[in-house]
Amino acid sequence: MSKDKAVHQPPHYTQGGIECIDAIRSMLTPEEFKGYCKGNAMKYIWREAHKGTSKQDLEKAVVYLNWAIENNVQKT
């Protein structure tokens, strides 16, 4: 498996023809999904120096931050 695929489309996150992130996104409001993404980004940043996969963990954090940006909800 390529390193890029390990970050963007890991096969263990796809079951029944749907990626886990898509199922989660469909169950949450946009604001909840943004919070979910921010929390996951913080998790990857927090532990990146301790797993031996620093670059990959930081890349995963960026993916989650990009999803949070794409799903940004402006409060009125």
Per-residue pLDDT of the chain (76 residues; tens, 9 = 90+): 555 666 656 665 556 778 889 999 999 999 999 999 999 999 999 999 888 889 999 999 999 999 999 988 666 5
CB 13 within 8 Å of CB 40: no
Rounded to 5 degrees, what are φ and ψ at 15?
-140, 140
In a domain, 47, yes or no: yes
Q: What is the pLDDT of residue 53?
A: 81
Is 55 within a domain? yes
Q: Give the three-class secondary structure for 10.
A: coil
Establish if 75 belongs to a structural domain: no
* Alpha-carbon separation of residue 19 from 48, 49, 54, 62 (angstroms): 24, 27, 24, 18
Domain count of the chain?
1
Determine the structural domain holding residue 26 and report its residue range.
3-70
